[in-house]
Structure 1
Amino acid sequence: MKRITAAITAAAAVAAAACLVLIALASGGSYVFFTPTAYISIDINPSLELGINRFDRIVSVEGYNAEAEELLDELDIRFLPYQEGLQELLESCGVDAEGIQSGTEEEDAGDDTEEDGGSRYRHHGEKEEESGHRHE
């Protein structure tokens, strides 16, 4: 009788430990998935900010004006890959997304690509000299 009780107690302890490990992994995984690691700020009318996770998915969308809130009520771009979400967002705003090309911080560090000094976006079709300034 004592052997059966000991076996049941050991099995219950193993099951409880397995459940705790599963809960820890699930909560850690959800934290990793739902935590933005990058933000994309769109300052056309409407003004929005997209939070992007480490898997390149949109995990948060925040509107900064009434037009943005209205647009976000119509669109459901959360959890889409950010490229698809941006494409859908820009198309719904009537912006030609093909004409926008972005650079990364690494390749554009210290680079002034706009006359106002500091925008990381180049206009489609422009070339850049080795000095870091653009040519049209």
Structure 2
Amino acid sequence: ARFANLLAGSGMTPAQASWKAGADILSLGATKNGALAAEAVILFPSVMNRYGELQARQKRAGHMVAKMRYVAAQFDAWLADNLWLDLAEHANEMAKRLSEGLSAIDGVRLAHPVDGNEIFVTLPEPVAERMRA
């Protein structure tokens, strides 16, 4: 779901981060990057012969969208003029900004470096207890 964030943060091309890195299938999620329930599965040439099987599994699992044009319209707008990468870059910047603010709080520690739009922190026990309540 965070393919766009990877690209925005690393400077890699889509090809470098997918099929050139050995991926056979890419799950391209747009929902967490500005779209409304829009996801795509991209098959690369190494597994194109399994398209029929994937389509059957998708149908059997109930994931066939009745109005596919609404999903396609979102992807059309999302991919146009690199909007998807602009949104991901903004999300990455906001995560970095939030992590800097959190790090300034006494006792809060980043569990991992922030290189995308996810932040993992370790909180002081009293703060964690209040959040659990």
Question: Where on the TM-score scale, by shorter chain, does this alignment land: which range?
Answer: under 0.3
Question: Normalising to structure 2: TM-score of the pair?
Answer: 0.26
Higher helix share: 2
For the pair shown, the structure with the greater C-alpha radius of gyration is: 1
TM-score, normalised by the number of residues in structure 1 = 0.25
